Structure formats: C-alpha cells, structure tokens
C-alpha cells in the first residue's frame, strides 16, 4: 500500500480534487438512477393499482 496516512489518501498526490470528483460524481449518478427508478416504479404501480381497482378512486392506490 502506498498511503502513509489518511490525509495522504485523500490528497491523492495532489490530484485529490480530480480523482474524488470523478468517483463521487459516478457514485451520485448511480445512486440517483436507482432512486429515480424506485420512485418511477412506485408511481407506475400506484397508477396501475388505481386503474385495476376501479378507475378514479385514488384512496385505493
């Protein structure tokens, strides 16, 4: 392992800003995509259930 300390690790040999922006942006995109899909699924199922249970009654959704 090449890191002497935790701050060494975060500094990334002076390239910390670039390295961590890349990894954090990738992680955020993935988390956002999964959350967006989860919300989309909840919405789609609610709409489908409402339609199945008799049209306009929102309380059954």
Partner 1 sequence: MVNWSKYSSPQAFYPLAGRLIPWFAVVAVVLMGVGLYMGFFVAPTDFQQGEAYRIIFVHVPAAWMSMFLYVVMAVWAGIGMGLNARLSFMMAQAIAPTGAMFTFLALLTGAMWGKPTWGAWWVWDARLTSELILLFQYAGVMLLRTSIDDMRRADRSSAVFALVGVVNVPIIYFSVQWWNTLHQGASVSMSTGSKMAATMLTAMLLMTVAFWLYSIAVILARVRCIMVERESLPVWNEKPAVIQEAVEAR
Residue 14 or 58 having the CB closest to partner 1 = 14
| List of residues contacting partner 1 (CB under 8 A) | 1-3, 9, 12-15, 18-19, 21-23, 25-26, 29-30, 33-34, 37, 40-41, 44-45, 47-49, 51-54
* DSSP code for 4: S
Q: In whole angstroms, how close is the CB of 46 to partner 1 at the nearest point? A: 10
Both tokens of 48, joined, read: 């489908």
Q: In whole angstroms, how close is the CB of 22 to partner 1 at the nearest point? A: 4
- Please state, in angstroms and as integers, the Cα–Cα distance from residue 26 to each residue in 20, 31, 47, 61, following that order: 10, 9, 32, 35
How far is it, in rounded angstroms, from Cα 28 to Cα 34? 10
């Amino acid at each position: 392992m090449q890191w002497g300390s935790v701050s060494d690790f975060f500094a990334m040999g002076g390239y910390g800003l670039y390295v961590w922006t890349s990894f954090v942006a990738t992680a955020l995109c993935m988390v956002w995509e999964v959350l967006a899909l989860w919300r989309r699924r909840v919405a789609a199922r609610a709409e489908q259930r409402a339609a199945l249970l008799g049209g306009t009654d929102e309380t059954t959704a």
